[in-house]
Amino acid sequence: MVALVVHGGAGHWVEAERDAAVAGVRRAAAAGWRILDAGGTALDAVAAAVAALEDDPLFNAGRGAVLNAEGEVELDASIMAGDTLASGGVTCLRRVKNPVLVARRVMETTDCVLLAGAAATAFAREQGFADFDPVTDRRRARWEAERQSAARDDSVPGTVGAVALDAGGRLAAATSTGGRELKRPGRVGDSPVPGAGNYATAQAAVSATGWGEYMLRMATAKAIATRIEGGATPDAAAAAVLAEMQRVFGTPIGVICLDARGAIGVVHGTEGMPHAWRVHGDREVGARFAV
Amino acid sequence: MVALVVHGGAGHWVEAERDAAVAGVRRAAAAGWRILDAGGTALDAVAAAVAALEDDPLFNAGRGAVLNAEGEVELDASIMAGDTLASGGVTCLRRVKNPVLVARRVMETTDCVLLAGAAATAFAREQGFADFDPVTDRRRARWEAERQSAARDDSVPGTVGAVALDAGGRLAAATSTGGRELKRPGRVGDSPVPGAGNYATAQAAVSATGWGEYMLRMATAKAIATRIEGGATPDAAAAAVLAEMQRVFGTPIGVICLDARGAIGVVHGTEGMPHAWRVHGDREVGARFAV
């Protein structure tokens, strides 16, 4: 049994972009699936899927990430291997094409789990990641309009993520984002933090999206993983924590998750969250805008 | 019922400093207790107790924090209010006397939960926190010796913390640290991250200490709080997660925690962890090096 789910963000998607978003998550899932199908690891699969989403300027991660209050892009990402609980992350990373791949280097080449700010960017350069400007004309134009506007337009989708189970029974999760538009420089969101926006154990892999501060305060991904470990199905676990987030904070979240038998959970409290999935065995394959 | 527990770190304390450490945590507890006893909030009490530990150069937090690989001090701290799940934190903060008070300003004056690096330091200045050099001659001398030594001396105690319950039934937790000696600049530890080294809910307050990367990977403080919310006593909850950390990572932790009835949990897998506690009602008062 191998399985993969990816999502492209649970924010507000304008009607005109929904098909493109579904096509984008389908391509990202295909990139991850090629790895799993060839006997590769869940870790490689989630890294490839999230890197594909980072490369697609439609999504708020890597190229196409939204700008902060100073008109800069600061990127957050993390990746986690369920079998070892190894985790790597970067926050407030600048001018890198694929933050999720830098996060993986943090995991694999340092004794740290999370690197922040200028030091994270310096680490990326040490590791050979070239200087790359992730700002697109479209995001810049939007930022120029938004920062002068009293009424905020919330039609920028959030965080992207992937979860996978490989043939060796290993689970992994990866998450990447540009964070909130007009965010304060130096703000750390949930995506780079294990237990908040991303988490994987021997029994559960979780990637979540939503208002980062609420996810940090709830330790949302850990809460979902704990429920799966306690015997809940991924769908039930994610739905329970979504309900808790709505009750406590009045805020919706989006979640993709997997258990070690390849059961999938996809929930969102928003109108949509483009996602794609594929599971061997019972041959579930699909991509859609909303559950 | 009001209650307070503080600790001064579960690292290796040399024999000669243990009495001073116990005296230090006793003073910090007294600072917190004065607030609770006067009808103040748990949040004010943990902030005062942790600020007192930051001011004491014996402890690895605030003044007396250990130096990183570049000979600089980078400070991590957070504070959390259980009744609202409000949380604030700073990581890689430089040249500030009381990181826990900056963390509280993040919580109370921004829409962020965690600020990192140069932006965190800039925020502290905006908020009126003066430039302050936390490096002591003793830590500098130690760093000079350590960075040239093959055999590392691990006799620098870690993270400090406090948990409190006030007369209004509100729980709070605060945690502060200089992190690991010779750490990579930009490294984010567990202390500033809700769910990792610090956590508070309506039913549980937790401050933990140990190897930060393992605590991030386990989401240790959230795991302990979840067990308390599930009905475990604070001592049993902390002991169960300590055992899990030892089983999975082979690493000990130290934990102080409280539930909403004022029951205290204190556990450490190390030889000691100076701590002090006080509980009204059954009038438990004490301070000691080890459980």
pLDDT by residue (tens digit) across A165-186?
Answer: 999 999 999 999 999 999 999 9
> H-helix or E-strand containing B21?
helix B18-37
Give how far B211 is from chain A: nearest CA, Å. 10
Per-residue confidence at B152, pLDDT binned at 50, 70, 90?
Answer: low
What is the pLDDT averaged over residues A77-93? Answer: 98
- A187: nearest CB among B86, B115, B218: B115
Give how far A213 is from chain B: nearest CA, Å. 6
Contacts of B196 in chain A (CB under 8 A): 193-195
**pLDDT at residue A33 tops 90:** yes
Per-residue confidence at A138, pLDDT binned at 50, 70, 90?
Answer: very high
Task: Give φ, ψ of A259 to 5 degrees.
Answer: -110, 180
> H-helix or E-strand containing A288?
strand A284-288
B92 and chain A: CB distance < 8 Å anywhere?
yes
Q: Write down the H helix ranges in A89-211.
A: 99-109, 117-126, 137-146
Give how far B216 is from chain A: nearest CA, Å. 6
List active site positions of B. 159
Give the bridge partners for B91, in sequence order. Answer: B116
* CA-based nearest residue in chain A for residue B195: A219
Per-residue confidence at B153, pLDDT binned at 50, 70, 90?
Answer: low
Percentage of residues of chain A with pLDDT beyond 90: 92
Contact (CB<8Å) A188/B216: no
At residue A66, the pLDDT reads 96
A85 and chain B: CB distance < 8 Å anywhere?
yes
Of B195, B255, B257, the residue nearest A217 (C-alpha): B195
| A159 carries an active-site annotation | yes
Is the ipTM above a cut-off of 0.85?
Answer: yes
- State how far the Cα of B233 lies from the Cα of B239, in Å rounded to an integer: 10
Helix (H, G, I), strand (E, B) or coil at B215: helix
Tell me the per-residue pLDDT of A215-255, one tens digit each, with 9 for 90 and over. 999 999 999 999 999 999 999 999 999 999 999 999 999 99
Q: Which 8-state DSSP code applies to residue B187?
A: B
- State how far the Cα of A113 lies from the Cα of A95, in Å rounded to an integer: 20
Give all domains of chain B, ordered by start, each with its CATH number. Answer: 3-288 (3.60.20.30)
Task: Give φ, ψ of A262 to 5 degrees.
Answer: 85, 10
Contacts of B112 in chain A (CB under 8 A): 183-184, 187-188, 213
Q: What is the signed CA dihedral for B45, B66, B106, B166, rounded to 10 degrees?
A: -10
Evaluate whether B193 touches B82 at the Cβ level (below 8 Å): no
Of B88-102, B112-126, B167-181, B275-289, which range is least confident?
A: B275-289
What's the token pair of residue A118? 């200028």
- State how far the Cα of A42 lies from the Cα of A163, in Å rounded to an integer: 8
Helix (H, G, I), strand (E, B) or coil at B175: strand
Among B216, B226, B244, B248, most A C-beta atoms within 10 A, so best to mutate, is: B216
- State how far the Cα of A118 lies from the Cα of B28, in Å rounded to an integer: 35
- State how far the Cα of A283 lies from the Cα of A274, in Å rounded to an integer: 20
The b/e string for A27-44 (b: 16+ C-beta within 10 A; e otherwise) is bbbbbbbebbeeebbbbb
Contacts of A222 in chain B (CB under 8 A): 195, 219, 222-223
Which residue among the candidates A159, A201, A226, A270 is catalytic per the annotation?
A159
Q: What is the mean pLDDT of chain B?
A: 96
Contact (CB<8Å) A115/B196: no
- A218: nearest CB among B85, B92, B212: B85
Give how far A279 is from chain B: nearest CA, Å. 27
Cα three-residue angle A96-A174-A141, rounded to 5 degrees: 45
Of B193, B154, B131, B162, the residue nearest B31 (C-alpha): B162
* CA-based nearest residue in chain A for residue B78: A217
B182 and chain A: CB distance < 8 Å anywhere?
no
Residue type, position A237, single letter: A
At residue B106, the pLDDT reads 98
- B116: nearest CB among A112, A186, A223: A186
At residue B147, the pLDDT reads 87
